[in-house]
Structure 1
Amino acid sequence: MKTKLLITALTCGCTVTIAQQQTANRPTVVAGFPVNYHEDSVGTYTLPELLKTQDGKPVVTAGQWTGKRRPELLRLVEENQFGKMPPRPQNLTFHVFDKDTPAFNGKAVRKQVTVYFTKDTSDHKMNLLIYLPAKAAKPVPLLLNISFAAYNQIVDDPGLRIGEIWNKEGKKVKADKPTPFGKLNVEQFLDAGFGFATVYYGDIEPDFKEGLQYGIRKTYLKPGQQEPAANEWGAITAWAWGLSRAMDYFETDRRIDSKHVALQGASRLGKTVLWAGIRDPRFKMVIASISGEGGAALSRRNYGETIRHISDPSRYLYQFAPNYHTWAEKVNEMPIDAHMLVALMAPRPLLLQTGSTDYWSDPKGEFLSAVAAAPVYRLFGKTAPSASAMMPAPDDTSLLMNDLGYYMHEGGHTVLPEDWKLFIKYMEKHL
């Protein structure tokens, strides 16, 4: 097997590294619940009806989907999984503290922007890094990435402000040390005519159970309320909300084609970009990498991580609406499943990227989800996997370029350097 970049528990949402996942030492019990990795033990299930309204009427046109069925499903996902999010804040402001600075030997212009979520600019703010092709004669489309690291840690550019990150002890510290994630080649996007932007998810909301007291969600609690209500936003929805605030800035920048912005994130941030794209139709495209349970993988498949594992209070319940936990022991009764999340992106381009040995995230579950969601894409005349499609082999790109695309690299829970090249090809065709 080819050598692959290994990513630790920070991205995989589990207690083992990918190196362990690629051996026989996969976790067999997580949060006190057994983990299944055998196809003959996934159980039997029936997915909830995608093309039938709640009053039992069939959906046979794109108009019926857009006008009736999609709003129904959106409400169900809000109530049962991710929670409701507030609108754009009234006091949202932007400070461009680095404007059109030459970067990468003149290939790009760089912008660094602070997005203030509240009137009090001392807290609740997000730093946004943007690179645009220097020679572009008109507004450019771009990819917005949400990252596990501060942007100065993932981009090799000495002109970047040193950010802050949350450490394992739940403290904010200076982001002046290397991370396990390595550096990202930004110039490949510029060479293809795209801009590139990135934000650190911890600027919006910390990624730990007690993070509520520090993040943006705290500012929306009602008097006397100690935590969000059962159908209100978890951390994933907070991160998605923050991405929409980045889009608010893009709409003010004449050098950015805000009608053609793609989103990309991995693991829990793959779930985030999928939900952000669903909730905010201003985003033209989503590339959801290794999103797994709670993302593109079918929850009704008892394979790898399940709702019981991910929503347990000892693990990641804070990332979801509290209601999500109530389905842990009765997943087959849940009114939604991942194929509905996938379908809610239609007709906009959606690429699901997975890994062949990422058993915890269930790459087959993501493929089956795409197949089940495909009829909605076809209502709009878009390309998607057929009902008879076979799951592609690792590194097979045969389904990659569909409007509803699927690609599985050989390897585990990560985004590989060669994956980014394929993302750019996907963007060139659909963005």
Structure 2
Amino acid sequence: MQLIMRFSFIAPALFCLVFSQTVYAQQDRQALPDPFTFNSGKKVKSVTEWERRRKEILETMTREMYGVSPERPQNVRFEVFDEDKKALGGKATRRQVTVHMAEKGKQAQFDLLIYIPNQAKRPVPAVIGLNFIGNQAIHADPGIRLTTAWVENSGMFPCAADGRATDACRGVNASQWAVDSILARGYALVTLYREEVASDRKAQAFHTGVHTLYPELQQREDNFGTIAAWAWALSRGMDYLETDKDIDAKRVAVFGFSRLGKAALWAGATDQRFAAVLSNESGAGGGKQFRRGVGEDINRLCTVFPHWFARNLGKYKGKDTELPFDQHFVLALIAPRPVYLATAEDDKNADPPGEFATARAADAVYRFLGTNGFPNGPFPAPNQPLTGQIGFHIRPGGHDVKMFDWIQFLNFSDLHLQK
């Protein structure tokens, strides 16, 4: 019995050691592109030179993968259409804002749902993120306006009628949004619905939302893709937050899960106003390292989700292990701001070791810029977060957002965003 108990403690540690050595071995076999090497072959030797190299990396990732994004629209207007200072039983002030945008006679809009903790001293830090089913889905609060955009009626969320949200959609996605915990920690929560921004349906891609403002950006190989559009909308949300006296716009973390985690990372890479990035199981095109050749690949991204990325990414189908860039370049664009990559054991498409490898590969840039980077050591056991300027954890279970994830995100945010 005693021997069995001892083995039960030794086995997980031995597994993690072998697992981590495998990760490093696979990473070594596929030498990664060097973020410190200019396109000319010259090496970065100073922070000033890094800023020039950063621009090169941004140009590369924009052209070859995410696609070009427009500047802020010529006309942006914020309409606060709802405010309840005693929402959620008095715990929060609920504010709902429509972001109106106009460009060359065309218009688009989306709603922000904002909860501000009443017990916290203002202005408060905030977490902003896109949601999957509509603002009304993150909480059962009857005061949240139902989206008028298309809503999928899936087995996971069987609430829509003919593509429209109903009252049955209220709170159906609440398990992935730890609203009470976020507010209790002193953060405002800001969310917006992906379909109000840009359609995630192949047939409707580029024909709704903000894409209608910029049809000319689809007439090129580095076109304005859907991931880029979602990231761009997060920046428009930040535009509003800079005007809200109850929010400290210098302390805003951008969050995303799955495909919306890809958008959160790109938002952090392209908009340095975001003080931190929290990415949950973002996988391929997010936190996962392509060059390992494991998990979801470029061929699947470009075939099943051709609207997500620029058409240029299609050049690399079947060439994941030969890319002249990889996702540590995205983290390098975020550096030195804090970034957290979370993943789960059963999420094979997201390739947990691949996300760990990306964090490890970005460490050098973070340390070069004067931070403590990513903690040294092996691939961690489940539920054992690693926390530096780059954070990481793996938990049991599959593709989801759990309370454990939010606890780590909030702990990480406390370290970097709370005064």
Q: Taking structure 1 as the reference length, what is the TM-score of the superposition?
A: 0.84
Q: What SS does the corresponding residue of 1:351 show, helix, strand or coil? A: strand
Deviations 1:45-90 (A, max 9, x none): 221111111122222333322x211100000000000001001101
Please say which of residues 54-63 and 341-350 is displaced more in the overlay.
54-63
CA RMSD of aligned residues (A): 2.4
Tell me the equivalent position of 1:260: 251
Equivalent residue in structure 1 for 2:213, among 219, 242, 257: 219
Tell me the equivalent position of 1:55: 40
Tell me the equivalent position of 2:191: 198
Q: What SS does the corresponding residue of 1:166 show, helix, strand or coil? A: coil
CA contact (8 A) 2:127 2:188 kept: yes
Q: How does 1:82-121 map to 2 (within 5 A)?
A: 82-118=66-102
Equivalent residue pairs, number: 385
Q: What SS does the corresponding residue of 1:319 show, helix, strand or coil? A: coil
Q: What SS does the corresponding residue of 1:329 show, helix, strand or coil? A: coil
CA spacing shift, 1:180–1:152, aligned 2, 3 Å: closer
Please say which of residues 178-187 and 243-252 is displaced more in the overlay.
178-187
Q: What SS does the corresponding residue of 2:58 show, helix, strand or coil? A: helix
| 1:341 Cα deviation after fit | 1.1
Deviations 1:68-124 (A, max 9, x none): 111000000000000010011011111100135321222211100011122799962
| 1:384 Cα deviation after fit | 2.4
Does 2:121 correspond to 1:127?
Answer: no
**Structure-2 separation of matches of 1:260 and 1:384:** 20
**Structure-1 separation of matches of 2:145 and 2:353:** 41
Write the letter of the residue equivalent to 1:304. G
Deviations 1:366-393 (A, max 9, x none): 101111110000012212235x521111
| 1:180 Cα deviation after fit | 5.9
| 1:330 Cα deviation after fit | 2.7
**Structure-2 separation of matches of 1:403 and 1:288:** 14
Q: What SS does the corresponding residue of 1:94 show, helix, strand or coil? A: strand
| 1:430 Cα deviation after fit | 0.8
| 1:136 Cα deviation after fit | 3.6
| 1:172 Cα deviation after fit | 4.6
| 1:166 Cα deviation after fit | 2.3
Higher helix proportion, which one?
Answer: 2
| 1:340 Cα deviation after fit | 0.9
Equivalent residue in structure 2 for 1:346, among 335, 352, 356: 335
**Structure-1 separation of matches of 2:152 and 2:134:** 15
**Structure-2 separation of matches of 1:42 and 1:368:** 7
Deviations 1:163-219 (A, max 9, x none): 234245997512433376344331212211111111111110010112211232132
**Structure-1 separation of matches of 2:221 and 2:105:** 30
Q: What SS does the corresponding residue of 1:237 show, helix, strand or coil? A: helix
Percent identical among aligned pairs is: 37
Does 2:380 correspond to 1:392?
Answer: yes
| 1:358 Cα deviation after fit | 0.7
Please say which of residues 137-146 and 53-62 is displaced more in the overlay.
53-62
CA spacing shift, 1:181–1:43, aligned 2, 3 Å: farther
Write the letter of the residue equivalent to 1:198. T
Q: Flag structure 2 segments of 5+ consecutive residues without an equivalent.
A: 1-21, 154-159
| 1:357 Cα deviation after fit | 1.4
Tell me the equivalent position of 2:393: 407
Write the letter of the residue equivalent to 1:61. S
Please say which of residues 237-246 and 213-222 is displaced more in the overlay.
213-222
**Structure-2 separation of matches of 1:300 and 1:395:** 26
CA spacing shift, 1:293–1:119, aligned 2, 3 Å: closer
Write the letter of the residue equivalent to 1:208. R
CA contact (8 A) 2:129 2:254 kept: yes
Tell me the equivalent position of 1:416: 402
Equivalent residue in structure 2 for 1:188, among 175, 181, 184: 181
Tell me the equivalent position of 2:312: 323
**Structure-2 separation of matches of 1:58 and 1:374:** 17
**Structure-1 separation of matches of 2:317 and 2:76:** 37
CA spacing shift, 1:220–1:99, aligned 2, 3 Å: same
Tell me the equivalent position of 1:29: none
CA contact (8 A) 2:133 2:151 kept: no
CA spacing shift, 1:213–1:394, aligned 2, 3 Å: same
Q: Flag structure 1 segments of 5+ consecutive residues without an equivalent.
A: 1-37
| 1:135 Cα deviation after fit | 3.7
Does 2:237 correspond to 1:246?
Answer: yes
Q: How does 1:142-161 map to 2 (within 5 A)?
A: 142-161=126-145
**Structure-1 separation of matches of 2:300 and 2:166:** 31
Does 2:223 correspond to 1:232?
Answer: yes
CA spacing shift, 1:158–1:381, aligned 2, 3 Å: same
Does 2:160 correspond to 1:176?
Answer: no
**Structure-1 separation of matches of 2:102 and 2:84:** 26
Q: What SS does the corresponding residue of 1:117 show, helix, strand or coil? A: strand
Tell me the equivalent position of 2:356: 367
CA spacing shift, 1:260–1:121, aligned 2, 3 Å: farther
| 1:125 Cα deviation after fit | 1.0
Tell me the equivalent position of 2:200: 207
CA spacing shift, 1:406–1:43, aligned 2, 3 Å: closer
